[in-house]
């Protein structure tokens, strides 16, 4: 599959924040994905990281001055403005956000910002108290209103020792944001419902039965649909992932809650993806009080939960139904049997006994089956696998024109 970032023309505009050093990694990763990168640096950015480093990594001369004798007619900002498909300001300091929000054009970045018709994005990075300051929040709101994409900031430990919102988004996450931005927006009007994550089945007031699912694969599939313009609802079991932006979240705990949340939202859904690792059994009885360890052996009585995927697939106006099959042996045979038994349109199966893929891993590898065909997706980051899966779902559902 051709990388969506191949030959994309991206200006990385670096400003004077301590996180500027992370731009070296960002440029490197964008180049790895085949993007063409040109770097602009403000005067204070050059105090934090040298233009020479950025030149070596981007393979292009770095632009630092408004009047550029190398550029035709000396107007480097106009040439860059016309060349770029995306201008990303990173790290966007409080000062830079103020300048951009007010349209100051007293340096190369300010002028380029006004002169370009490319998509403009900023990745804020500053002390958490500065981020919360009313003036910064006003500038942030103004930038959003001007159509600027604001990626981050994230929460966590800061270089100054504070903890809170204001950290620059990590370079790999920014690369993902850039890739998401370039996805075709061809799914407007499509309604997608997904389940993701594990379920927890209560045993007593302090214990539950569950599994190792991190929910990451389902969250990536939700994001892959959302970034192509679909309207996405994600019914999620308990996970520690941030909700994907632009996705309607429904949080549930047990299999019974997940079933109810799913069935009550099926109306008008075009595609259903059941990626949750739903508990197959739940305790038959919920102990009122904590079970004491008085016995040498304890026998639990379990009862079957309802199969959410099969229930969706038996609805009269059922959507296109995609199931998952995580197996440790006979992976393909079990998956094909599951597809037939549960009346699915497609099944994505993987071998969770393989190290480094599947449950709780950042990567996955899958084999996808549908009525008259199949396709192997070799090991890749889960977001890449998700985008390929979404492409296959659209092809099978809509036909080769999709
Ligand atoms: O039968 P098995 O649990 O292996 O099937 C896995 C597929 O079925 C996944 O897509 C999972 O989300 C779905 N499933 C479900 N409800 C259950 C059990 C599994 O939706 N109770």
Instruction: Collapse the DSSP code of 335 into the 3-class scheme (helix H, G, I; strand E, B; otherwise coil) and give the result.
Output: helix
Q: What is the DSSP letter of 3?
A: -
Q: For ligand 1, atom 5, name the residue with the nearest CA.
A: 325
Top pLDDT among 24 and 66 is at: 24
Q: Token pair of 244, please?
A: 């994907």
Atom of ligand 1 nearest to the CA of 309: 20
Atom of ligand 1 nearest to the CA of 312: 20
**pLDDT digits over 237-295, tens only?**
999 998 988 999 999 999 999 999 999 999 999 999 999 999 999 999 999 999 999 98
**pLDDT digits over 347-380, tens only?**
999 888 777 776 777 889 999 999 889 999 998 8
Residue whose token pair is 């994550």: 197
| CA 309 – ligand 1 centroid, Å | 6
Query: pLDDT averaged over the chain?
Result: 92
Instruction: Collapse the DSSP code of 310 into the 3-class scheme (helix H, G, I; strand E, B; otherwise coil) and give the result.
Output: helix
List 11's β-bridge partners, or say none.
38, 87
Instruction: Collapse the DSSP code of 28 into the 3-class scheme (helix H, G, I; strand E, B; otherwise coil) and give the result.
Output: helix
Helix (H) or strand (E) holding 393: helix 382-398
pLDDT band at 386 (very low <50, low <70, confident <90, very high): very high
Which of 276, 279, 305 maximizes ligand 1 atoms within 8 Å of its Cβ, making it the mutation to test the pocket? Answer: 276
294 Cβ neighbours under 8 A, 6+ residues apart? none
| CA 279 – ligand 1 centroid, Å | 8
Atom of ligand 1 nearest to the CA of 276: 12
pLDDT score at 51: 95
226 Ramachandran zone, left/alpha/beta (phi>0; psi -120 to 50)? alpha
| CA 304 – ligand 1 centroid, Å | 12
User: What length does the chain have?
Assistant: 402
β-pair type (191-196, 201-204): unpaired
Alpha helix (H) ranges present in 33-107? 45-48, 51-58, 76-83, 94-102
Atom of ligand 1 nearest to the CA of 255: 21
pLDDT above 60: residue 72: no
290 Cβ neighbours under 8 A, 6+ residues apart? 204, 205, 206, 207
Marked catalytic residue, from 23, 160, 220, 375: 160
Task: Give the CA dihedral 13, 15, 21, 27, nearest 10 degrees.
Answer: 0
Q: What is the CA radius of gyration of the chain?
A: 25
291 Cβ neighbours under 8 A, 6+ residues apart? 203, 204, 207, 298
**pLDDT digits over 299-332, tens only?**
999 999 999 999 999 999 899 999 999 888 888 8
| CA 314 – ligand 1 centroid, Å | 14
Sign of CA dihedral 78, 80, 83, 89: negative
Instruction: Collapse the DSSP code of 100 into the 3-class scheme (helix H, G, I; strand E, B; otherwise coil) and give the result.
Output: helix
| CA 126 – ligand 1 centroid, Å | 44
Q: Which residues are near ligand 1 (CB < 6 Å)?
A: 195, 255, 274-276, 278, 280, 305, 307-309, 323-325, 338
Closest CA to 396 of 364, 376, 368: 368
Question: Residue 375 catalytic?
Answer: no
Which of 194, 199, 222, 323 maximizes ligand 1 atoms within 8 Å of its Cβ, making it the mutation to test the pocket? Answer: 323
d(CA 104, CA 363): 44
Residues of the chain with pLDDT > 70: what percent? 97
Does pTM surpass 0.85? no
Domains of the chain: 9-182 (3.40.50.1950), 191-398 (3.40.50.10300)
**pLDDT digits over 123-166, tens only?**
999 999 999 999 999 999 999 999 999 999 998 887 778 888 89
């Amino acid at each position: 599959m051709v990388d969506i970032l191949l030959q994309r023309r991206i200006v990385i505009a670096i400003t004077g924040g301590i996180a500027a050093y992370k731009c070296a990694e960002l440029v490197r990763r964008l180049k790895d994905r085949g993007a063409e990168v040109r770097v602009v640096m403000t005067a204070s950015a050059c105090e934090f990281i040298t233009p020479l480093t950025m030149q070596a990594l981007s393979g292009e001369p770095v632009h630092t001055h408004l009047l550029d004798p190398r550029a035709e007619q000396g107007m480097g900002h106009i040439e860059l403005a016309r060349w770029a498909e995306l201008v990303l300001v990173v790290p966007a300091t409080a000062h830079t956000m103020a300048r951009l929000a007010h349209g100051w054009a007293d340096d190369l970045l300010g002028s380029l910002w006004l002169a370009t018709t490319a998509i403009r994005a900023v990745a804020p990075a500053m002390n958490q108290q500065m981020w919360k300051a009313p003036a910064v929040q006003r500038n942030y709101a103004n930038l959003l209103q001007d159509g600027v994409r604001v990626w981050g900031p994230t929460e966590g430990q800061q270089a100054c020792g504070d903890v809170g919102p204001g950290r620059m988004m990590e370079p790999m996450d920014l690369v993902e944001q850039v890739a998401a931005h370039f996805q075709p927006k061809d799914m407007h009007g499509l309604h997608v419902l997904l389940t993701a994550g594990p379920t927890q089945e209560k045993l007593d007031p302090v214990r539950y039965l569950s599994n190792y699912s991190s929910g990451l694969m389902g969250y990536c599939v939700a994001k892959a649909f959302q970034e192509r313009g679909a309207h996405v609802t994600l019914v999620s079991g308990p996970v520690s992932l941030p909700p994907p932006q632009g996705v309607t979240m429904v949080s549930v705990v047990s299999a019974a809650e997940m079933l109810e949340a799913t069935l009550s939202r099926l109306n008008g859904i075009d595609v259903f993806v059941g990626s949750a690792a739903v508990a197959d059994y739940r305790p038959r009885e919920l102990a009122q009080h904590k079970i004491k360890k008085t016995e040498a052996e304890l026998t639990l009585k379990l009862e079957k939960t309802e199969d959410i995927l099969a229930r969706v697939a038996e609805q009269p106006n059922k959507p296109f139904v995609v199931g998952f099959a995580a197996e440790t042996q006979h992976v393909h045979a079990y998956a094909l049997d599951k597809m037939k038994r549960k009346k699915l349109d497609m099944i994505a199966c993987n071998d969770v006994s393989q190290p480094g893929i599947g449950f709780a891993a950042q990567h996955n590898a899958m084999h996808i089956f549908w009525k008259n065909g199949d396709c192997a997706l070799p090991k890749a980051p889960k977001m890449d696998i998700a985008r390929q899966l979404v492409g296959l779902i659209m092809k099978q559902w809509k036909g080769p024109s999709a």
